[in-house]
Amino acid sequence: MKVHEYQARALLAEAGVPVPPSEVVETVEQAGAAYEKLQGRVVVKAQVFAGGRGKAGFVKLCDSVEQVREAAGFMLTNRMVSKQTGPAGVPVRKLLIASAVEIDSEYYAAVVVDRARRRPVVMVSREGGVEIEEVAARNPGAIFKQWLHPHLSLLHFQTAQLVAALGLTDKEQAQAAGRVLRGLVDVFYKYDCSLAEINPLVRTKAGQIVAIDAKLNFDDNAVFRHPRLQEMFDPTEENPNELRAKQYDLSYIALDGNIGCLVNGAGLAMSTMDLIKLHGGEPANFLDVGGSVTAEGATEAFRIILSDPNVKGILVNIFGGIAKCDTIAEAVVAAAKEVGFTVPVVVRLEGTNVERARQMLQEAKIPQIITATDLTDAAKKVCAQVA
Ligand code: GDP
Ligand code: MN
């Protein structure tokens, strides 16, 4: 799960990270009113789940109410296209109007999970404000890292080394940066983040250390532990199919290919996708209907897969262990009737009640259904259908 910058700022502020005062608005009028409160120089920022806003023209410094209204009007009526959005861009529904700061230096600070080392890593860089992937590619030595013991959080000597790596020698500034890093790490642990990032963290001309952009990603499987995050959830920013899938306990991730996959079990779903790729196809989604799938759940799964206009064929791959093959066959037949198959559906079933399931599929006489004998056969057949 992701949240908007303004929400990330609020959580960081609660953890003691200094952030400039700001207001969230949804209209040009509200933007003007926010300026009247904040006064001076402000920055108008689109609140969307994508970075690269600065370069896209969706972060604007403004010195008057007229400028604020103009920037707000532009952002609320244009889709934002950046490196991270794809060419279609994303609509902007909310803006953050924040008091601007005078920047002396921009730094980078983040905590992410390092999968290879199986622990969180704190990363800092003096090259802030630019995308960290760019820094990593061009000058990996410019990123300094400290790995955290999963149970110990940030230790004092680590804070000191990170702050030193930022080149902050002034005592007060160093202490302030240390507090920011501890706050960032605290938020990372407290809310089960997969990413907590401040980019840029700035030193202002007056010598203050302030976070002026923030990004938090959370582990979806931990969100149930955090009512605070559930309140922050913004369905308008999510993939609608992924939302529908959640309601039926289906794990669905949309991908770019044209072969829809309906599989039970995450491991089987992964190997199914591997086999599709091996035979030259591209999966349109990852979909795990789960071990205890019901006919309604499976029907909904077909509905979700078929609502993707890129899907040119479907591969159903079910191992009947906890779920019975005949339940799935029943769902396939029901979905064919209810949803209507507009593309070929290759079905590979194995396991409990498979004989009965095969018989049900045969008797249903659905012209789009192609049966497969094993996984490789199924992958080859579906790839041939969409080729
Ligand atoms: P992003 O492009 O989506 O990461 O958006 P950011 O919030 O990081 O803003 C992009 C850039 O705009 C920053 O790196 C700064 O250079 C600039 N910027 C943002 N806020 C301020 C501000 O308060 N004052 C000044 N001078 N520049 C700002
Ligand atoms: Mn940024």
Question: What is the spatial distance between Cα 232 and Cα 235, in angstroms, rounded to a whole number?
Answer: 10
Does the pLDDT at position 327 exceed 90? Answer: no
Query: Which of the listed residues 9, 67, 80, 103 should we mutate to test ligand 1's pocket, taking the one with most ligand atoms within 8 A of CB?
Result: 103
- Whether residue 277 sits in one domain with residue 152: no
Which pLDDT score is estimated for 298? 85
Contact 8 CB / ligand 1 (< 6 Å) = no
Choice among 5, 23, 197, 330 that is catalytic: 197
pLDDT surpasses 90 at 328: no
> What is the domain-level CATH number for residue 217?
3.30.470.20
Do 260 and 369 fall into the same domain?
A: yes
Residues 228 and 251 in one domain: no
User: Same structural domain for residues 250 and 208?
Assistant: no
Is residue 291 predicted with pLDDT exceeding 90? no
Q: Is 212 in the pocket of ligand 1 (CB under 6 A)?
A: yes
Q: What is the pLDDT of residue 275?
A: 97
Which amino acid makes up residue 221? N
Cα 284 to ligand 1 centroid, rounded to whole Å: 36
The pLDDT score that the predictor gives to residue 270 is 95
Annotated catalytic residue, options 6, 35, 107, 108: 108
> What pLDDT does 339 receive?
86
Same domain for 43 and 128? Answer: no
> What is the length of the chain?
387
Reduced to 3 states, what is the DSSP secondary structure of residue 29? helix
Mean pLDDT of all residues belonging to the chain: 94
- Which atom of ligand 1 has the smallest separation from the CA of 130? 14
292 has a pLDDT exceeding 80 = no
- Same domain membership, residue 247 and residue 210: no
Number of domains in the chain: 3
Give the distance (Å) from ligand 2 centre to CA of residue 200.
Answer: 6
Domain boundary among 237, 255, 270: 237
180 shares a domain with 168? yes
Strand order of the β-sheet with 259-263 is 251-254, 285-288, 259-263, 313-320, 345-351, 369-371
User: Pick from 264, 375, 250, 261: which is nearest to 319 by CA?
Assistant: 264
Which residue, of 71, 100, 129, is where some domain finishes?
Answer: 100
Active site residue 108: yes
Same domain, 379 and 335: yes
d(Cα 317, Cα 376) in Å, to the nearest integer? 11
**Does residue 130 have its Cβ closer than 6 Å to ligand 1?**
no
CATH (domain of 255):
3.40.50.261
Q: Which atom of ligand 1 is nearest to the CA of 213?
A: 7
For 21, 68, 72, 210, 339, the CA distances from 100, given in Å and listed in that order, are 9, 12, 16, 11, 53
Ligand nearest to the CA of 97: 1
Q: Give the separation between CA 182 and CA 211, rounded to whole angstroms.
A: 13
pLDDT in tens, 103-148: 999 999 999 999 999 999 999 999 999 888 899 999 999 999 999 9
User: Do 92 and 107 reside in the same domain of the chain?
Assistant: no
HSE (side-chain half, CA atoms, 13 Å) at 38: 27
- Give tens-digit pLDDT for 258-271: 999 999 889 999 99
CB 293 within 8 A of CB 338: no
Band (pLDDT 50/70/90 cuts) for residue 155 is very high
Given pLDDT bands bounded at 50, 70 and 90, which one contains residue 361? very high
What pLDDT does 78 receive?
97
Which residue, of 69, 100, 131, is where some domain finishes? 100
pLDDT digits 0-9 by tens, 41-73: 999 999 999 999 999 999 999 999 999 999 999
- pTM for the full predicted model: 0.83
Residue 25 is part of which domain span?
21-100
Q: Which atom of ligand 1 is nearest to the CA of 128?
A: 14
Phi, then psi, of 201 in degrees rounded to 5 = -90, 130
CA distance 182 to 15: 8
If asked whether residues 303 and 357 sit together in one domain, one would say yes
Count of C-beta atoms within a 10 Å radius of residue 161: 15
197 given a catalytic annotation: yes
Across 213-219, average pLDDT? 97
User: What percentage of the chain exceeds 70 in pLDDT?
Assistant: 100
Burial of 69 (0-12, 13-18, 19+ CB in 10 A): middle
Q: Are 232 and 250 found together in one domain? A: no
**Gap between the Cα atoms of 15 and 285, Å rounded:** 38
> What is the model's pLDDT at position 234?
87
Please report the pLDDT score of residue 222 as a whole number: 96
Q: How many CB atoms lie within 10 A of CB 120?
A: 22
Pair 261, 342 in one domain: yes
Closest CA to 282 of 253, 259, 302, 312: 259
Which atom of ligand 1 is closest in space to residue 98's alpha carbon? 23
